[in-house]
Structure 1
Amino acid sequence: MINVVVQAVTRPVAGVRRFVLAAADGRPLPAIAPGDHIEVETPCGLLRPYSLCGDPAQRETYEIAVLRETQGRGGSRAMHDALAKGRRLRISEPRSLFPLRSGASFYRLIAGGIGATPLVAMAHHLVREKQRFDFHYCVRNRESLVFWPELERLVPHGALHVHLSTGEDARRFAPRADPPPEGCAVYCCGPPPLMEAVHAAYAGLCPVHRESFKPQVPDDATAFEVVLARSGRTVPVKADESILVALWRAGIERPLSCETGICGTCRTPWCGGEPEHRDSVLSAEERQREMLICVSRCRSKTLVLDI
């Protein structure tokens, strides 16, 4: 983990904070690539991933934008309420789950709301490399355009397109009506319905790359039951929810942090059934007795947790 200090906090639009972070020791931060993210140890103790949205060429600071999620677990609320200029916190080194790959003759960047964060960094890089691209920004209304002034300066004239879902000038993005140029690669980040629509429209026509920090439930996931060995209680797990969410819904609080299978906070012993491990933390030996219940599921009809 890297110790950083909050160098500046701005409020580009209602409900969003943009944080500029610098190394606490004054040294340059590790190099980043467009599309990288960091995990932030939020003031409430939860570990949360945030895409880096600044210029990836400079190493003096990192920039992240955080949407306040009132229905979330509290990480974004803590970032909004407790972080001010001068506050110290810890972050991970940059990590890449959404790399911008070379080789395309044209890049189409499609952002939905706060999902624009990694795509802004990509735009900085593409401008510097003199690569051809356009940017489609999908938001609810003009008051939600978090990065608008920056993108107006950055994106080439005629290549920045805004798509609004509400208001008198509403014009939703219709990917099927705008086929990609030859040699195009598409990069999309935003709400799942947008990413699914983009993938369905462009799949087979060009490479489509997507990023989501939400745990992805398999398309063929089925419901199952979790039995708590020590109490004998049975908790149903829906096909579209995690074991962790099902337990919390049933009033059974378990430790949580990243909820994406990368930190290990929710590791839980199991003693029956057939787990489907989907984490990035546990070794093969550890999986014989433990599982991460934020992302892992069950291949059998019943899973027994040793709690």
Structure 2
Amino acid sequence: MNAPTNEREALTHLELVLRQVRMEAAGINSYEFVDPEGNELPAFTPGAHIDVHIAPGVIRQYSLCNSPEERHRYVVAVLRDESGRGGSRGMHETLRVPNRVRVSVPRNNFRLSDDASKIILLAGGIGVTPLKSMVHQLEAESKNYELHYCAKGPEFAAFQSELEGMAKTGKVHCHFDGGDPAKGLNIAQLLQTPQVGTHVYYCGPGGFMEACKQATAHWPADAVHCEHFKAPIQKVPAESSGTDEGYIVELAASGRKLTVLPDQNLAEVLQQAGAPVETSCASGLCGTCKVRHLSGQIDHQDFILDENERQSFMTPCVSRGCGGTLVLDL
């Protein structure tokens, strides 16, 4: 028996109280959310994020940056981006203590490896947020790690003193370039030689992500992990990269078949048909819409699924079928 809609939403979303807003660095505020009754929150793992419903129709994903051992609060940090889509400005301008805010339960597309003998963390600016949560976990487990935190200057580095004070079993290195990347961390040199058992995690703005990608191109693919805040501009949009033909999508539970035209978005077609597919980022970055596929060829355009996951799952907000019939576990 399926749960009623409002019950299903209660399982995936929470209404929390914004208990504290704190300035962490120039242009960066942290936001602490707690249960209004003081109850424990659903557990999360390092690298997880939540969807924050900032305003009607404005939903953004933010990484949890506090310790996973803390069950009483979720903490995110947000850089105000004047050139963005308005989500960060909404967080900075409209959210106030003690607003009640709808958030999703945590999801994780950026998990720490259990079998790594050493972890190298590379943070560019606000990209430190998911890595800070990882540092909490690595310290708790006395794991071997090093964090390289790159920013324009110390005034732009959120949590710098906290991270440096936490480092007991690992090392925290801050690199300030004054706005000139050439004067900052030499990422290529740092990652020149892959080491057996060492895993690399990186997160930050576009240029930083590209530098890390190039520096790890010769590393084993399963030892390199990243999380994008924005879809890389070099990624070819799904609408122009797949087949010019439409295709059929079949919903396995009912056998219902839907036609998806070349210029249509699969997630939108599914939602219009009443299928239980929720979207958030619409960029293939958050995993909200991830569904299992049972058969058919897929043009994957996401930035979160690895090759193993793509054998069973897809993100219909950006990915699509390659002609023929695509069968989904819906």
TM-score normalized by the length of structure 1: 0.72
SS of residue matched to 1:138:
strand
Show the counterpart of 2:205.
191
Q: Which amino acid aligns with 1:147?
A: F
Whether the 8 Å contact between 1:215 and 1:259 is mirrored in structure 2 is no
Show the counterpart of 2:58.
46
Show the counterpart of 2:257.
none
Unaligned runs of 5+ in 2: 1-12, 242-262, 266-278, 290-297, 305-314, 324-330
Quote how far apart the aligned CAs of 1:94 are: 0.5
Correspondences of 1:133-152 after superposition (within 5 Å):
133-152=145-164
Show the counterpart of 1:166.
178
| Residue 95 in structure 1 maps to residue 107 in structure 2 | yes
Quote how far apart the aligned CAs of 1:183 are: 2.2
2:217 equivalent among 176, 196, 203: 203
Correspondences of 1:1-307 after superposition (within 5 Å):
1-43=13-55, 45-156=57-168, 159-166=171-178, 171-179=183-191, 181-206=195-220, 207-216=223-232, 219=235, 258-261=281-284, 278=301, 295=318
TM-score normalized by the length of structure 2: 0.67
Following the alignment from structure 1 to structure 2, what is the Cα–Cα distance between the partners of residues 115 and 164? 15
Quote how far apart the aligned CAs of 1:58 are: 1.1
Counting helix residues as a fraction of each chain, which structure ranks higher? 2
Show the counterpart of 2:312.
none
Range that drifts further, 21-30 or 165-174: 165-174
Count of matched residue pairs: 253
SS of residue matched to 1:42:
strand
Following the alignment from structure 1 to structure 2, what is the Cα–Cα distance between the partners of residues 105 and 114? 26
Quote how far apart the aligned CAs of 1:210 are: 0.3
Q: Cα–Cα, structure 1 residues 10 and 204, in superposed 2: closer, same or farther, change >3 Å? A: same
Whether the 8 Å contact between 1:10 and 1:19 is mirrored in structure 2 is yes
Unaligned runs of 5+ in 1: 226-236, 243-255, 265-274, 281-290, 301-307
Whether the 8 Å contact between 1:107 and 1:186 is mirrored in structure 2 is yes
Following the alignment from structure 1 to structure 2, what is the Cα–Cα distance between the partners of residues 184 and 260? 30
SS of residue matched to 2:44:
coil
SS of residue matched to 1:137:
strand
Whether the 8 Å contact between 2:205 and 2:229 is mirrored in structure 1 is no
Following the alignment from structure 2 to structure 1, what is the Cα–Cα distance between the partners of residues 227 and 97? 29
Question: Matched residues, percent identical?
Answer: 38
Q: Which amino acid aligns with 1:183?
A: G
Q: Which amino acid aligns with 1:113?
A: G
Q: Cα–Cα, structure 1 residues 7 and 152, in superposed 2: closer, same or farther, change >3 Å? A: same
Following the alignment from structure 2 to structure 1, what is the Cα–Cα distance between the partners of residues 170 and 72? 32
Q: Cα–Cα, structure 1 residues 298 and 126, in superposed 2: closer, same or farther, change >3 Å? A: same
Show the counterpart of 1:231.
none
Range that drifts further, 172-181 or 124-133: 172-181
